[in-house]
Structure 1
Amino acid sequence: MTRKKPTTSTSTSPVPTTADTATTGGSGFGPKLLVPVLVGPLLNPINTTMVSVALAPISRDLGIGASQAIWLVAALYLASAVAQPTMGKLADRFGPKKVFLTGLVIVGVAGVVPEVLTGFGGAVTARVLIGIGTSSAYPAALTTLRQHSARIGKPTPPLVLGALSITSLVSAAAGPPLGGALIAAFGWHAIFLVNVPLAVFGIVVAAMWLPSDRLRPRDAEQLPVRTALDPLGMVLMTSTVSALLVFLLDLGAGLWWLLAVAVVLFVALVLWELRATKPFVDVRLLVRNGALSRTYARLFLTYLLAYTMTYGFSQWVQDVAGYPSDVAGYLQLPAAVVAGVVSFVVARRTAVRRPLVVAALVPLVGAGLLLLLHAGSPLVLLLVVPALFGVPQALASVSNQAALYKVVPSEYIGTAAGLSRTSIYIGAIAASSLIGGVFGQAPTTPDLHVLAWVMLGVGVLLAVLTLADRALARADAR
């Protein structure tokens, strides 16, 4: 059965009113539009990395091993991997402002869950809710920018798109030092409670300044909600990722039947999406648009490296090198500085290929330096290694986002943006699985070196994929 060709969408483009101008500024992209657009997307990355310095104290406080504590990482990534494209789909359908505000409410509630549900279960529940709630921001932000650009008849400035990546990058890199400071001052519960004021601030500025969803272009097809959202595709996607995650997080248990289940579910997902009128994952687009598929692959490999470094290094620094959680966080502060500076520089340029080539090569140097670390390594080396990994995060995030924005159809931007984050989160899930399998109950220096060798192999694969991609040169020529 072949999929029906969708009717061409039409949109209405109201003339910007005085209120619109006040919101967006004379250029069309003023502070009142950009503040909520930039504030929202920082919540997910800061929560993904802030927990890295909390794993050791949570393990000690709750009496659990490193392989169990890593579920605090995996729970958020699993929720985010599924929720990001779902929220993008909802933003495309119902409007980005509604979806964004709903997500922020969920984040605020999640912040107090560990205070009510004490113990490991409450912490995992909170992480799942944070993953779902924060997943609304990035696809809603890109959808808002694309719709606003169409409405005012001006392209989104590259610096605005770059700023979106910069805030996400800097917040992700700042997560460990912020988390370390909060834990040192108030205990590990603080990394959850900090979401409450952040969510409240986001709700206030979004409610006041984001454009109304009534101004967005309307889809001429007006398909039923069930058809437009593809709930079966969502369920199959969730089930596939969940089965694969549980298998990867406990490789020692030998749950090979779960891998078989994941493969069957994946095949079912592909077959269904080929038939769906409005597929949750547009398989035809991914096959047809090789540049988009390779963008997702680069994001997966880059963040597999980045998160293996973030979580593996942080646990090793505390449990083997003997540094407290706040110092472990500060050791990753150079990564935040480097990521911020590099992303700001690259955001002002239009080139795509050269930054991505550098992003593919630098992790090889960083992984090589990891092989030199031992319990008595000098402080300068412990600062340089994380700083190196700030470079590929900055370059890959900004340049891959620019590539995505160029190659994705307007009506698919929310879902595509969500899937780009899903690629990142699957990379993080793979990193969590790798760390849990290698570290076991507690990390050792030989374990860290095993991670370094794996990272070298992944880095070589990323470099080959990037250097061989001719579409990147064509993107620079546009």
Structure 2
Amino acid sequence: MVLGSILNPINSSMLAVALIPIGAAFGAPPSETAWLVTALYLATAVGQPVIGRFVDAYGPRPLYLAGTALVGVAGLMAVFAPGLGLLIVSRVLLGIGTSAAYPASMYLLRSEAERTGLRNPGGVLAVLSISNQVIAVIGPSLGGLLIALGGWHLIFTVNVPLSLACLVLGALRLPRRPEPRMEQERRADLPGMVLFAGMLTSFMLFLMEPDLRHVYLVAVAAVAGAGFAWWELRREEPFVDLRVLRGNAPLLATYGRQVLAFTTSYAFLYGFTQWLEDSRSLSPSQAGLVLLPLSATAIAATALTSRYAEVRGKLLVGSVVQIGGCAALLSLHPASPVWAPAAVGGVVGVSQGLIGLANQNALYAQADPARMGSSAGLLRTFMYLGALLASAANAAFYRDGATTDGLHHLSRLLLVCSVALLLLTVADRSLRRVGAR
């Protein structure tokens, strides 16, 4: 479960230090290499709930094995890609492949909890959260090391041994048959999936290039969204049960916090790293070293608070710390001493460690057990929606390169997101009951 669930964060975080070298190799500016980020998260945002629904119906084993095999194929394709276009295609396949492991893991946790009678396997949830946090935050440092050793191709090559390890462990350990399901649950809601994908894809394509010439994409997203809601509300077994979501305000609030938190997290990860390399003139390996305090504080915050099931305090402290980290970005400039960006990273790492674990625990308490796979997939969808918004923001503010002015404009946007996250947490009274003794 751990090995499969880290495939996405390791591929997203290592890329942060590789965007500048890849752009130099293919002669592409940051606004074009941003599609490497967008392609992964767009595919994952659509794929997570789709594959999560299949996990609910068919069990975790077939989806996990097929998804992790696709990760290895995508890694090989990226290694031999002759241009940016095929590299983007490989990221789409990678996003689809990495969409299986997390819903499969949450499904297995819920089924094991029902078998043993344990309400909340907090230790296992903490291990999953910590492993994802660790990989996400050490990814830039690891990516910088790999690039220094053999160039940017190495960050894609690592997918091959990881994929093989997942296939071996999955074949040996995952249950061979799912629990018995009603036949109507096995029927996939293909029209709902298509409408959902069309809505999300057209909206994100517009955000990547917001222009009056592309306003038709907003209309397409609105029509697809209306059609999606109409269709899902009339199906007995919908792809996304909007009736359940409509009556589950706490779960909707958790999804909202996930978008806001990860818009800030990913905008910082990619935007800040590109600024370090482009404006601060650091190499990928040096930029990775500067981000080590981010790794250390995120891991420490997650590890120290993982044994406590209460989530509201983590979200409040994490939101306030995130506001401070985003405000500190406004003080950075190319002549800042190297300890200054390292210190900012350390502050932001604390908020990432607290918020990521809190939202995952909140989902486990709020979601319908029968739809744990698809609910967990949707949590990841909203996380990657935040990543897509972050990618769009980076592309908009870095059109002329990763300049200091662009970083400061990005910082102001992240401050707005962080304040909104704090207000949403304060307003959500249901959080008092999650994890309370």
Sort the TM-score into its range (normalised by shorter chain).
Answer: over 0.9
Match of 1:161 in 2: 125
Match of 1:69 in 2: 33
Alignment of 1:37-436 (within 5 A): 37-210=1-174, 212-214=175-177, 216-219=178-181, 221-223=182-184, 225-226=186-187, 229-252=188-211, 254-436=213-395
Whose Rg is larger? 1
Q: CA RMSD in A?
A: 1.3
The answer (yes or no) to whether the contact 1:302–1:392 under 8 Å persists in 2 is: no
Report the AA paired with residue 186 of structure 1.
Answer: G
The whole-number CA distance in structure 1 between the counterparts of 2:83 and 2:194 is 29
Cα gap change, 1:327/1:79 in structure 2, threshold over 3 Å: closer, same or farther? same
The whole-number CA distance in structure 1 between the counterparts of 2:130 and 2:435 is 21
Report the AA paired with residue 334 of structure 2.
Answer: A
For the residue of structure 1 that corresponds to 2:6, the secondary structure is helix
Q: Deviations over 1:188-235 (max 9, x none)?
A: 11111110011111111221122x242x4322x321643xx2111111
> Structure 1: 5+ residue runs without aligned partners?
1-36
Deviation at 1:253, TM superposition (A): 6.3
Deviation at 1:412, TM superposition (A): 0.4
Report the AA paired with residue 94 of structure 1.
Answer: Y
Deviation at 1:138, TM superposition (A): 0.5
Deviation at 1:154, TM superposition (A): 3.5
Q: Deviations over 1:379-430 (max 9, x none)?
A: 1111011122212221111111111111112110000000000000000000
Deviation at 1:156, TM superposition (A): 4.4
Residue 467 (str. 1) matches residue 423 (str. 2): no
The whole-number CA distance in structure 2 between the counterparts of 1:59 and 1:314 is 14
The answer (yes or no) to whether the contact 2:309–2:436 under 8 Å persists in 1 is: no
The answer (yes or no) to whether the contact 1:178–1:329 under 8 Å persists in 2 is: yes
The whole-number CA distance in structure 2 between the counterparts of 1:287 and 1:345 is 35
The whole-number CA distance in structure 2 between the counterparts of 1:94 and 1:441 is 48
Q: Deviations over 1:341-393 (max 9, x none)?
A: 11111111111110011111111101111000000111111101112221222
- Relative to the length of structure 1, the TM-score reads 0.89
Larger deviation, residues 251-260 vs 173-182: 251-260
Report the AA paired with residue 98 of structure 2.
Answer: T
- Relative to the length of structure 2, the TM-score reads 0.97
The answer (yes or no) to whether the contact 1:306–1:393 under 8 Å persists in 2 is: yes
The whole-number CA distance in structure 1 between the counterparts of 2:37 and 2:384 is 10
The answer (yes or no) to whether the contact 2:9–2:135 under 8 Å persists in 1 is: yes
Q: Deviations over 1:129-180 (max 9, x none)?
A: 1111111110000101111222334444211111111111111111111111
Match of 1:16 in 2: none
Deviation at 1:126, TM superposition (A): 1.2
Report the AA paired with residue 217 of structure 1.
Answer: E
Cα gap change, 1:254/1:359 in structure 2, threshold over 3 Å: closer, same or farther? farther
The answer (yes or no) to whether the contact 2:109–2:121 under 8 Å persists in 1 is: no
Deviation at 1:312, TM superposition (A): 0.5
The answer (yes or no) to whether the contact 1:162–1:347 under 8 Å persists in 2 is: yes
The whole-number CA distance in structure 1 between the counterparts of 2:378 and 2:176 is 22
Larger deviation, residues 291-300 vs 277-286: 277-286
For the residue of structure 1 that corresponds to 2:332, the secondary structure is coil
The answer (yes or no) to whether the contact 1:75–1:128 under 8 Å persists in 2 is: yes
The answer (yes or no) to whether the contact 1:80–1:425 under 8 Å persists in 2 is: yes
For the residue of structure 2 that corresponds to 1:112, the secondary structure is helix
The whole-number CA distance in structure 1 between the counterparts of 2:213 and 2:19 is 25
Count of residue pairs the alignment pairs up: 437
Report the AA paired with residue 169 of structure 1.
Answer: Q
The answer (yes or no) to whether the contact 2:280–2:335 under 8 Å persists in 1 is: yes
The answer (yes or no) to whether the contact 1:252–1:437 under 8 Å persists in 2 is: no
The answer (yes or no) to whether the contact 2:58–2:186 under 8 Å persists in 1 is: no
The whole-number CA distance in structure 2 between the counterparts of 1:350 and 1:442 is 43
The whole-number CA distance in structure 2 between the counterparts of 1:353 and 1:89 is 29
The whole-number CA distance in structure 2 between the counterparts of 1:242 and 1:52 is 23
